[in-house]
Amino acid sequence: MKKTIFIALSFQVWLSWGQAAWTVPKQAELMQNPLTANQETIDKGAKIYQSLCASCHGKTGKGDVVAMQSLNPKPTNFHTEAFQQQTDGTIYWKLSEGRGMMASYKNMLSEEERWAVVHYLRTFKTDKQTNQVSTNQTVTSSKTIQSEKTDAFPFTTLINAKTTRIMPTHGFGLTIQHRFGATKFDEGFIKNFMGLDLAANMRFAFEIPINNKLMFEIGRTRYGKFYDLGAKYLLLQQTGDNQTPFSLALYENIAVTTENAPQYSEQATFENGTKFEYKFYHRLYYDTQIIISRKFSNKFSAQIAGEIIWRNLIPYRIKPKEESYVIAVPVSMRYKTGMRSAVSLEIMPNTHHQTMPVSLGYEVASSGNHVFQITITNSDRILLQNIFTQPTLKYGKEGFMLGFNLTRYF
């Protein structure tokens, strides 16, 4: 229900964008294509175009894909004069930033790949141009593109870990994280259909960007009936020329459990002996992080975070005794295995004696504004406030959980 309302809302937003002219910063307009328009570059651009763009703009660039004609505005026809008259810099900027249904490809494609696509788009000629040879494709190197900001990860959440990424500032994001029951390679694997038959945990969250540095998220998790409110602020962003060699973000999340108050006896006391009473603030769990990420190459990115989890209430009789806080140093990495696929790994050492969350992810069919990721985790918890405080499975002996993450930016 909520989802439909949000989709309807965002559709309104697309409609209103459709009317406005797409203004490009002067500086971007003047950027020169640093690549030579030789056969190799054009072939490279063609390959990217046919796998990522043709579904909307058409195999021949005419913007005539039937299923896409209801979009407003429609996918651009690249054979028009209006399109071809624009500078390389303008086209590059537009496909980097995106607008509405046109995703931002800044994080999907490297600078070189994007410039190669621009060359390929030039091969779609207007009727007038058909007999002319493209003229202004000289070899120039441009300093402006080198200082372009980059993101280590294309999405705001990797598997469970928050990344330094702030989503595109138009529209909103929807993330669904799903973890099935524990399974292992024994007869139960088949019987319980890889754990899919067993109880599952799920979190869904809406993400709302305020600008390109600040975003909020509102989430709901099944286990514990948690609602959570998160905020992320990007302090520093990595640039292509390494003037800023890494990105740095702050993250804070407050989660409240809406489960029924626990049953406790009349005689229950706090650790200091005073009479126990279950108060609202006992329902609150906090997650505070500072995250540093770096894109090492077009294929490989990694990040490390310093994280503190705080719980307002823990039973003091548990042995060994637990602290209200858990300190964690999660390390996450992602390796692109293809144009639309990537593998991710998260390892989360922390001060809680029973937990060592280790997660694997495989992205199938990522695009600039969409990801479907299959996950293997050793915890069915998704909220980081819980992942460090519920015992994790030992992979070999105790098994693992399958699951998936689905993210979509509207």
List the one residue out of 269, 266, 234 whose CA is nearest residue 249.
234
Q: Which of 91, 215, 387, 393 binds ligand HEC (CB under 6 A)?
A: 91
List the one residue out of 177, 152, 126, 111 whose CA is nearest residue 336.
152
Cβ neighbours of 112 (radius 10 Å) = 14
How far, CA to CA in Å, does 101 sit from each of 74, 170, 216, 340?
9, 10, 22, 18
The one-letter amino acid at 50: Q
Residue closer to ligand HEC (CB basis): 97 or 287: 97
Whole-angstrom distance, CA of residue 406 vs CA of residue 178? 9
Q: What is the DSSP string of 197-239?
A: TS--EEEEEEEEESSSSEEEEEEEETGGGEEEEEEEEEEE--B
Residue closer to ligand HEC (CB basis): 95 or 161: 95
Residue closer to ligand HEC (CB basis): 17 or 276: 17
Asked if residue 95 binds ligand HEC (CB under 6 A), the reply is: yes
Cβ neighbours of 135 (radius 10 Å) = 6
Torsion of CA 347, 383, 221, 366, to 10 degrees: -50
Asked if residue 71 binds ligand HEC (CB under 6 A), the reply is: yes
Burial class (CB in 10 A: 0-12, 13-18, 19+), 406: middle
* Of 71-79, 151-159, 279-287, 342-350: span binding ligand HEC (CB under 6 A): 71-79
List the one residue out of 239, 362, 384 whose CA is nearest residue 305.
384
Residue closer to ligand HEC (CB basis): 82 or 318: 82
Residue closer to ligand HEC (CB basis): 16 or 140: 16
CB of 151 to ligand HEC, least distance (A): 17
CB of 45 to ligand HEC, least distance (A): 9
Angle formed by the axes of helices 88-97 and 111-122, nearest 10°: 120
Asked if residue 115 binds ligand HEC (CB under 6 A), the reply is: no
* Of 86-94, 176-184, 307-315, 354-362: span binding ligand HEC (CB under 6 A): 86-94
Asked if residue 73 binds ligand HEC (CB under 6 A), the reply is: yes
Residue closer to ligand HEC (CB basis): 89 or 403: 89
190, β-bridge pairs: none
In the numeric block, the tokens 């060699």 are attached to: 245
Asked if residue 99 binds ligand HEC (CB under 6 A), the reply is: yes
Residue closer to ligand HEC (CB basis): 106 or 334: 106
Site string for ligand HEC, 37-56 (x = CB under 6 A): ---------------xx-xx
List the one residue out of 175, 227, 201 whose CA is nearest residue 407.
175
Whole-angstrom distance, CA of residue 95 vs CA of residue 319? 57
CB of 364 to ligand HEC, least distance (A): 16
Asked if residue 57 binds ligand HEC (CB under 6 A), the reply is: yes
Backbone angles phi, psi at 13, to 5 degrees: -65, -45
* Of 2-10, 72-80, 177-185, 279-287: span binding ligand HEC (CB under 6 A): 72-80
Whole-angstrom distance, CA of residue 294 vs CA of residue 247? 6
Asked if residue 302 binds ligand HEC (CB under 6 A), the reply is: no
Residue closer to ligand HEC (CB basis): 52 or 358: 52
* Of 34-42, 100-108, 154-162, 251-259: span binding ligand HEC (CB under 6 A): 100-108
CB of 121 to ligand HEC, least distance (A): 6
Residues 6 or more apart in contact with residue 5 via CB below 8 angstroms? none
Q: Which of 6, 22, 206, 276 binds ligand HEC (CB under 6 A)?
A: 22
Q: Which of 58, 61, 75, 219 binds ligand HEC (CB under 6 A)?
A: 75
The size of the interface with ligand HEC (CB under 6 A), counted in residues, is: 22
Burial class (CB in 10 A: 0-12, 13-18, 19+), 105: buried
CB of 175 to ligand HEC, least distance (A): 19
Q: Which residues bind ligand HEC (CB under 6 A)?
A: 17, 22, 52-53, 55-57, 71, 73, 75-76, 83, 86, 91, 94-95, 99-102, 105, 117
